[in-house]
Amino acid sequence: MPKPAAAAPSSPRRRRWKIAEARSILAALASSGLSLPEFAIRKGLEPQRLRRWRRQLAREVRRPAAVIELLPSPNLRPVEPIEIVLTSGVTLRVAETIEPAALARLVTALERGC
Protein backbone atom coordinates (compact mmCIF):
# COMPACT_ATOMS: atom_id res chain seq x y z
CA MET A 1 0.00 0.00 0.00
CA PRO A 2 1.58 3.36 -1.06
CA LYS A 3 2.17 6.06 1.52
CA PRO A 4 0.19 9.27 1.13
CA ALA A 5 2.29 12.15 -0.16
CA ALA A 6 3.42 14.52 2.56
CA ALA A 7 2.08 18.04 2.29
CA ALA A 8 4.70 20.57 1.29
CA PRO A 9 5.60 22.79 4.21
CA SER A 10 4.10 26.20 3.77
CA SER A 11 6.70 28.93 3.76
CA PRO A 12 5.98 32.07 5.70
CA ARG A 13 5.10 34.99 3.50
CA ARG A 14 7.79 37.67 3.31
CA ARG A 15 6.75 41.04 4.62
CA ARG A 16 7.01 43.98 2.23
CA TRP A 17 8.37 46.97 4.14
CA LYS A 18 7.48 50.48 3.07
CA ILE A 19 10.18 53.11 2.74
CA ALA A 20 8.50 55.20 5.43
CA GLU A 21 8.65 52.21 7.82
CA ALA A 22 12.34 51.68 7.07
CA ARG A 23 13.09 55.37 7.66
CA SER A 24 11.15 55.28 10.93
CA ILE A 25 12.99 52.21 12.21
CA LEU A 26 16.39 53.62 11.21
CA ALA A 27 15.53 56.89 12.99
CA ALA A 28 14.59 54.89 16.10
CA LEU A 29 17.91 53.03 15.82
CA ALA A 30 19.83 56.31 15.60
CA SER A 31 18.11 57.77 18.66
CA SER A 32 18.26 54.55 20.70
CA GLY A 33 21.97 54.70 21.52
CA LEU A 34 22.16 50.95 20.85
CA SER A 35 24.43 49.20 18.41
CA LEU A 36 22.77 47.95 15.24
CA PRO A 37 22.86 44.28 16.34
CA GLU A 38 21.48 45.10 19.82
CA PHE A 39 18.68 47.20 18.34
CA ALA A 40 17.82 44.52 15.77
CA ILE A 41 17.58 41.83 18.46
CA ARG A 42 15.30 43.99 20.63
CA LYS A 43 13.03 44.74 17.67
CA GLY A 44 13.06 41.17 16.32
CA LEU A 45 14.72 42.19 13.06
CA GLU A 46 17.66 40.78 11.16
CA PRO A 47 20.70 43.09 11.43
CA GLN A 48 21.36 42.57 7.72
CA ARG A 49 17.93 44.05 6.91
CA LEU A 50 18.85 47.25 8.75
CA ARG A 51 22.18 47.43 6.95
CA ARG A 52 20.42 46.92 3.59
CA TRP A 53 17.94 49.71 4.39
CA ARG A 54 20.80 52.05 5.28
CA ARG A 55 22.49 51.38 1.94
CA GLN A 56 19.27 51.76 -0.05
CA LEU A 57 18.22 54.97 1.67
CA ALA A 58 21.73 56.41 1.37
CA ARG A 59 21.48 55.93 -2.41
CA GLU A 60 18.14 57.79 -2.40
CA VAL A 61 19.62 60.72 -0.49
CA ARG A 62 22.27 61.15 -3.17
CA ARG A 63 19.59 61.62 -5.83
CA PRO A 64 18.33 65.20 -6.05
CA ALA A 65 14.80 65.46 -4.70
CA ALA A 66 12.17 66.80 -7.05
CA VAL A 67 10.90 70.22 -6.05
CA ILE A 68 7.42 71.25 -7.09
CA GLU A 69 6.12 74.77 -6.64
CA LEU A 70 2.57 75.99 -7.00
CA LEU A 71 2.56 79.71 -7.56
CA PRO A 72 -0.30 81.82 -6.28
CA SER A 73 -2.64 83.51 -8.72
CA PRO A 74 -1.61 87.11 -9.51
CA ASN A 75 -5.05 88.21 -8.27
CA LEU A 76 -4.32 87.06 -4.70
CA ARG A 77 -2.36 88.89 -2.06
CA PRO A 78 1.22 87.63 -1.70
CA VAL A 79 1.45 84.79 0.78
CA GLU A 80 4.27 82.87 2.35
CA PRO A 81 4.66 79.40 0.83
CA ILE A 82 4.30 76.35 3.01
CA GLU A 83 6.96 73.70 2.49
CA ILE A 84 5.98 70.05 2.85
CA VAL A 85 8.50 67.20 2.63
CA LEU A 86 6.74 64.02 1.55
CA THR A 87 7.78 60.57 2.76
CA SER A 88 9.19 59.96 -0.73
CA GLY A 89 11.64 62.83 -0.18
CA VAL A 90 9.86 65.17 -2.61
CA THR A 91 9.63 68.75 -1.35
CA LEU A 92 6.34 70.47 -2.10
CA ARG A 93 5.91 74.25 -1.77
CA VAL A 94 2.36 75.55 -1.88
CA ALA A 95 0.59 78.78 -1.04
CA GLU A 96 -0.99 78.85 2.39
CA THR A 97 -4.31 79.53 0.63
CA ILE A 98 -4.43 76.15 -1.11
CA GLU A 99 -7.64 74.29 -0.41
CA PRO A 100 -7.07 71.29 1.90
CA ALA A 101 -8.92 68.91 -0.44
CA ALA A 102 -6.78 70.00 -3.40
CA LEU A 103 -3.62 69.61 -1.32
CA ALA A 104 -4.68 66.12 -0.20
CA ARG A 105 -5.29 65.06 -3.82
CA LEU A 106 -1.92 66.49 -4.88
CA VAL A 107 -0.01 64.76 -2.09
CA THR A 108 -1.74 61.45 -2.79
CA ALA A 109 -0.92 61.68 -6.51
CA LEU A 110 2.73 62.58 -5.83
CA GLU A 111 3.21 59.80 -3.28
CA ARG A 112 1.86 57.23 -5.73
CA GLY A 113 4.03 58.44 -8.59
CA CYS A 114 7.32 58.87 -6.70
Give the residue, 106 or 62, on which the prediction is more confident.
Answer: 106
Enumerate the domain spans of the chain. 19-62, 67-113
Residue type, 64: P
- Provide mean pLDDT across the span 65-75: 64
pLDDT digit string, tens, across residues 5-64: 555 555 567 778 888 888 889 999 988 999 999 999 999 999 999 999 888 888 775 555
Q: What is the pLDDT of residue 2?
A: 56
For residue 10, the model assigns a pLDDT of 55
Per-residue pLDDT at 1? 54
CA distance 78 to 40: 49
Closest by CA to 68, choosing from 91, 84, 87, is 91
Helical H runs in 33-99? Answer: 36-43, 47-62
* Predicted TM-score (pTM) above 0.75: no
How many other C-beta atoms lie within 10 A of the C-beta of residue 8?
6
